[in-house]
Amino acid sequence: MRRVTAADNATATPEKTAEHVLDEAHKALAERSYYSRYPESPSPRVYGENAAAEGLSAYESLLGKKFEGLAGAFDGEWVGEEKSPYGPTLDVAYPHLDVKGAMDAAGAAMPSWRNAGPRRRAVVLVEALEQLNKRSFEIANAVQHTSGQPFVMAFQAGGPQAQDRGLEAVAAAYVEQARVPASVTWEKPGRGEPTRMQKDYHVVARGVGLVIGCNTFPTWNAYPGIFASLATGNPVVIKPHPSAVLPLAITVEVLQKVLRDNGFHPELVQLAPEAQGEGLAKVLAERPEVKIIDYTGGPSFGAWLEREGAARGQQVYTEKAGVNTVVVDSTDNVKAMLGNLAFSLSLYTGQMCTTPQNIYLPKAGIDTDEGHLSFEEFGTKLAGAIGGLTGDDAKAVEVLGATVNDDVRARAGSLDKIASDAGGSVVADSREVTHPKYPDAVVRTPGLIGVDVEASDAYTTEQFGPVTFLIGTDGTEQSLATFRDTVRQHGAMTAAVYSTDEGVLDQAREAAMDAGVALSENLLGQVFVNQTAAFSDYHGTGANPAANAAYADSAFVAGRFRVITTRRHV
Q: Please report, as ranges, the residues that interact with a copy of itself according to CB under 8 A.
A: 30-34, 114, 176, 179-181, 184, 186-189, 195, 197, 199, 201-202, 204, 206, 303, 306-311, 313, 316, 509, 512-513, 516-527, 533, 536-538, 541-543, 545, 548, 550, 553-555, 558-559, 562-569
Q: Which is nearer to a copy of itself, 396 or 517 (CB)?
A: 517
Measured from the CB of residue 544, what is the shortest distance to a copy of itself in angstroms?
A: 9
Measured from the CB of residue 553, what is the shortest distance to a copy of itself in angstroms?
A: 6
Q: Which is nearer to a copy of itself, 105 or 497 (CB)?
A: 497
Cβ–Cβ < 8 Å for 183, 198: yes
Cβ–Cβ < 8 Å for 313, 287: no
Measured from the CB of residue 226, what is the shortest distance to a copy of itself in angstroms?
A: 20
Measured from the CB of residue 34, what is the shortest distance to a copy of itself in angstroms?
A: 5
Q: Which is nearer to a copy of itself, 97 or 518 (CB)?
A: 518
φ, ψ for residue 150 (rounded to 5)? -65, 160
Q: Which is nearer to a copy of itself, 147 or 531 (CB)?
A: 531
β-bridge mates for residue 238, sequence order: 211, 271
Q: Which is nearer to a copy of itself, 292 or 451 (CB)?
A: 292
| Count of CB atoms situated within 10 Å of the CB of 187 | 12
Q: Which is nearer to a copy of itself, 36 or 147 (CB)?
A: 36
Measured from the CB of residue 360, what is the shortest distance to a copy of itself in angstroms?
A: 18
Half-sphere exposure of 157 (CA within 13 A, CB side): 24
Q: Which is nearer to a copy of itself, 13 or 554 (CB)?
A: 554
| Count of CB atoms situated within 10 Å of the CB of 64 | 11
Q: Which is nearer to a copy of itself, 256 or 324 (CB)?
A: 324
Q: Who contacts 481 (Cβ-Cβ below 8 Å, separation ≥6)?
A: 511
Q: Is 340 helix (H, G, I), strand (E, B) or coil?
A: helix
Beta strand 195-205 with 183-188 is antiparallel
Torsion of CA 462, 349, 276, 545, to 10 degrees: -30
| Count of CB atoms situated within 10 Å of the CB of 503 | 10
Between the alpha carbon of residue 466 and those of residues 338, 411, 419, 449, the distances in Å are 17, 8, 13, 10
Residue type, 561: F
Distance between CA atoms of residues 214 and 221, nearest Å = 7
Q: Which is nearer to a copy of itself, 179 or 372 (CB)?
A: 179
Q: Which is nearer to a copy of itself, 31 or 75 (CB)?
A: 31
Measured from the CB of residue 305, what is the shortest distance to a copy of itself in angstroms?
A: 9
Query: What is the three-state SS of 485-502?
Result: HHHHHHCCCCEEEECCCH
Q: Which is nearer to a copy of itself, 58 or 505 (CB)?
A: 505
Between the alpha carbon of residue 142 and those of residues 47, 61, 88, 258, 408, the distances in Å are 18, 11, 12, 21, 21
Beta strand 443-444 with 432-433 is antiparallel
Measured from the CB of residue 564, what is the shortest distance to a copy of itself in angstroms?
A: 5
Longest alpha-carbon distance in the chain: 87
Measured from the CB of residue 244, what is the shortest distance to a copy of itself in angstroms?
A: 27
Distance between CA atoms of residues 466 and 14, nearest Å = 44
**Which of these, 79, 77, 72, lies nearest to 102 by C-alpha position?**
72
Q: Which is nearer to a copy of itself, 88 or 107 (CB)?
A: 107
Measured from the CB of residue 478, what is the shortest distance to a copy of itself in angstroms?
A: 21
β-bridge mates for residue 471, sequence order: 360, 451
Q: Who contacts 525 (Cβ-Cβ below 8 Å, separation ≥6)?
A: 336, 340
| Count of CB atoms situated within 10 Å of the CB of 454 | 12
Distance between CA atoms of residues 444 and 154, nearest Å = 18
Measured from the CB of residue 183, what is the shortest distance to a copy of itself in angstroms?
A: 9
Measured from the CB of residue 176, what is the shortest distance to a copy of itself in angstroms?
A: 6
Measured from the CB of residue 527, what is the shortest distance to a copy of itself in angstroms?
A: 6
